[in-house]
Structures are given as C-alpha cells and as structure tokens.
Amino acid sequence: MKKILSLLAIGLALSFTMAHAAEEKKMSQGQKMGACAKEASAKGLKGDEANKFKSECAKADAKPAEKPMTQGQKMGACAKEASAKGLKGDEANKFKSECSKAK
C-alpha cells in the first residue's frame, strides 16, 4: 500500500511539473501576432497578403503537437478520476491501475 501511495505521489508531482513547464512555453495571442507581423514584414508582405499571412501564422502556432502522456501524467489523470468517482482504498487502486493501462 505504501508503494502505491509513493508511486501516486511521484506521478502527481511529475504531472504538475510537466503542466507548469508547458504553461511557461505558451505565448500570448499578442506575442504570436507580433512575431507573425515581423515575419510578414521580413518577407515584404503588405496589405491583404500580410493580414492573411499573419492570421494563418498565428493559427499554426496555436495548435501544439499532441504528445503521448507520460506514466506520471496517466497516473495523475486516473487519480483525479478515482477521486471524482469517490473511490477509496483497494477499489481506487484497482481503478487507477486499470485506467493507466488503458490510456
């Protein structure tokens, strides 16, 4: 039981660390538009051409590539689900184990 709780704690800590790192890398919409405007200017685009380029550029940056979940992220998500369902003890541990294998 102590091993499972230790693994769960490590998993949650890793998932929070990963989420925080991802937040730091995000650019605001204004920063994206500024970077895209500089790129359009460097390419010599003007008027409607520049506006279209900036719009497409900002949209392209807005969709980060999907990465598979780490084991810690899986355990964290499954732990949240177990808590939301009100599961405790062995029942929660069984659920988390099956859940992390399925993700």
CA distance 73 to 63: 20
In this predicted structure, the answer to whether residue 101 has a pLDDT above a threshold of 60 is yes
Radius of gyration of the chain (CA): 21
Q: What is the pLDDT of residue 55?
A: 84
State pLDDT tens for residues 68-97: 888 889 999 999 999 999 999 999 999 998
CA distance 3 to 71: 16
Q: What is the pLDDT of residue 7?
A: 58
Q: What is the pLDDT of residue 8?
A: 57
Burial 59-93 (b: 16+ CB within 10 A, else e): eebeeeeeeeeeebbbbbbbbeebeeeebeeeebb
Domain ranges, ordered by start, for the chain: 2-63+71-102
Closest to 93 (Cα-Cα) out of 14, 8, 16, 15: 8
Q: What would the mean pLDDT of 56-79 be, rounded to a whole number? A: 80
Phi and psi, residue 36, nearest 5°: -70, -35
**Higher pLDDT pick, 86 / 16:** 86
In this predicted structure, the answer to whether residue 57 has a pLDDT above a threshold of 80 is yes
State pLDDT tens for residues 20-45: 444 445 667 778 888 888 998 999 99
CA distance 47 to 37: 12
